[in-house]
Amino acid sequence: MQALNPQEILLPVKTGFIAFTVIAACLIDLLQFGGPWRWIRPDFAALVLLYWGVHQPRRIGFAVAWLIGLTMDVADASLFGQHALAYTGLMYAAIVLHRRVLSFSMASQVLQVAPLLLATDFIMLLVRMLMGAAFPGWSYFAGSLIGALLWAPISLAFRLPQIAKVDPDAGLHVP
């Protein structure tokens, strides 16, 4: 796949596409994995919320992050509010740091995104441990690192609908 030109003007993102990606990420998170696979599975909802928080900070915000978090708490049958708290903190970081993250190359963006995803998992773990859960081990954070590695392919895939098609006859961009 060809790298995208950072100076290229992209078409606006459709609200339906943002909603579709967030809902799809939540549904993927609801898939059940057993054994060691559950520890290396990234939190797709957090990853997609982070992506849209960085790329479209005015279109998605705290309310969406909070509602998605509460939805994931209910669907996951986990402590009510832990995902909501973590996702809201993640959205805050995404909105505050969006210009910084976007100023880096794609490889450097991965290094910027990894601590944000780790912090999200740390917040959820801290809430669980405050409620009496035992520390699950360092493998608990593997999903965050894999999620950071997925940042580049997800970024490229989510930008594809925004690229204007070139009309070879006229040499103009056609939306």
Whole-number pLDDT of residue 167: 60
Is residue 46 within 8 A of residue 91, CB to CB? The reply is no
Stretch (H or E) spanning 157: helix 151-159
- Please give the distance of CA 127 from its chain centroid, rounded to a whole number: 21
- Does residue 36 have a pLDDT over 50? yes
Taking all residues of the chain, what is their mean pLDDT, rounded to a whole number?
Answer: 87
CATH topology (fold) of 15-162: Arp2/3 complex 21 kDa subunit ARPC3 (1.10.1760)
pLDDT of residue 144: 92
Domain segments of the chain as ranges:
15-162
**Interval 57-68 mean pLDDT:** 92
pLDDT, one tens digit per residue, over 90-118 is 999 999 999 999 999 999 999 999 999 99
**pTM of the complete model beyond 0.75:** yes
